[in-house]
Amino acid sequence: MSCYAVVGMGSIAKRHLANLRYLHPDAKIYSVSASGRNTELSVHADAVISLDQLLEEKPAYAIIASPAPYHVTTAKVLLQNGIAVLIEKPLADTVESCEELLFSIDDSQSCVVSVGYCLRFLPSAQVVKNYLSAGKLGAIYNVESNVGQFLPSWRTDKNYKDSVSARKELGGGALLELSHELDYLFWLFGDLELQHSWLRTTDELGLDVEDIADLVLTTTSGTYISVHLDFVQKSTQRNCEFIGEKGRLVWDLMMNTVTVYHATGSNILYAEPQYNKNGMYIGMLQAFENIKIAGMSHLATIESSLKVIELIEDAKQSNKWRRIA
């Protein structure tokens, strides 16, 4: 009987367990506590086991959904034992850790590993990707990427200050937690260069990490990209706009719509507001399971995810951390 595992006990780990059960109803599915102290059994798991026990079970693959600082240590153990690994974003919390993992698998061509940037599997994301890749917007001059959601409303079952998102030692902060935006910009445009960063921490949330981040990036062709990430907006937004030679493309990730505006009017390229966003997680797992046949497809690689962390570190180093009332 085939088996699968999820390392971690948080909300994203529970989502992955449920999705594995959906995809493989008759398989053995294990939950692995990253700390070894948590034995809470999910309704979708058959048992909570240790990492050593998991190695004996030889799962088809494991999903690492523990806090970012622990990703690389666990991934190295699994990969060295021939177990395929899907690592929840971000890849790690430091460039040093990412490079450690990359170097450890450099000589092995049999390792199957990817990073869980699931927004790539949102249907509207693939419409945007195809539209831009086909050159239908012409030269792209400006891009504005925005995401904001009030952190205390993310998970109402616990104090937001106890969440991974809020704690520096667990890889918290807007840059790491909301790095999906940085990933999809690399996916759409290739190499990006940081021109400016402005990171802030408000008294409103009382965190020791940035809860607002604003970046200015440029592409090799000279496209100007502004990125805004925050934990403070009371009305959630997630969108991206592209101004190009042939018009303006508006991508609303919350509504799962893509609209193009041009000189003579506008066209809706895609609209499925009722789309169940769990579908993008399912699609990501299916792509990962099919990786040996179909290749990386839309999956994020170790190399592309390292670029995200390098950009985040550059943003932190070039910015003077500021607290605002």
pLDDT in tens, the chain (325 residues): 799 999 999 899 999 999 999 999 999 999 998 766 667 788 899 999 999 999 999 999 999 999 999 999 999 999 999 999 999 999 999 999 999 999 888 655 567 999 999 999 999 999 999 999 999 999 999 999 999 999 999 877 788 888 888 899 989 999 999 999 999 999 999 999 999 999 999 999 999 899 999 999 999 999 999 999 999 999 999 999 999 999 999 999 999 999 999 999 999 999 999 999 999 999 999 999 999 888 888 999 999 999 999 999 999 998 766 665 4
For the whole model, what pTM was predicted?
A: 0.94
Q: Give the integer Cα–Cα distance in Å for 48 and 289.
A: 23
CA angle 168, 64, 151 (to 5 degrees): 40
CA angle 95, 91, 102 (to 5 degrees): 60
The HSE-up count of residue 288 (CA atoms within 13 Å, CB side) is: 31
CB 194 within 8 A of CB 311: yes
A 10 A CB-CB count for 293 gives 7
Q: Single out the residue of 251, 244, 283 nearest to residue 269, CA to CA.
A: 251
In terms of Cβ atoms closer than 10 Å to its own Cβ (0-12, 13-18, 19+), residue 294 is exposed
Q: Give the integer Cα–Cα distance in Å for 150 and 165.
A: 12
Q: End-to-end CA distance of the chain, in Å?
A: 57
What domains does the chain contain, in order, with CATH numbers?
Answer: 3-116 (3.40.50.720), 120-275+302-324 (3.30.360.10)
Q: Single out the residue of 91, 87, 93, 167 nearest to residue 316, CA to CA.
A: 93
CB burial readout 41-56, b (16+ within 10 A) else e: ebebbeebbebeebbe
Amino acid at 147: V
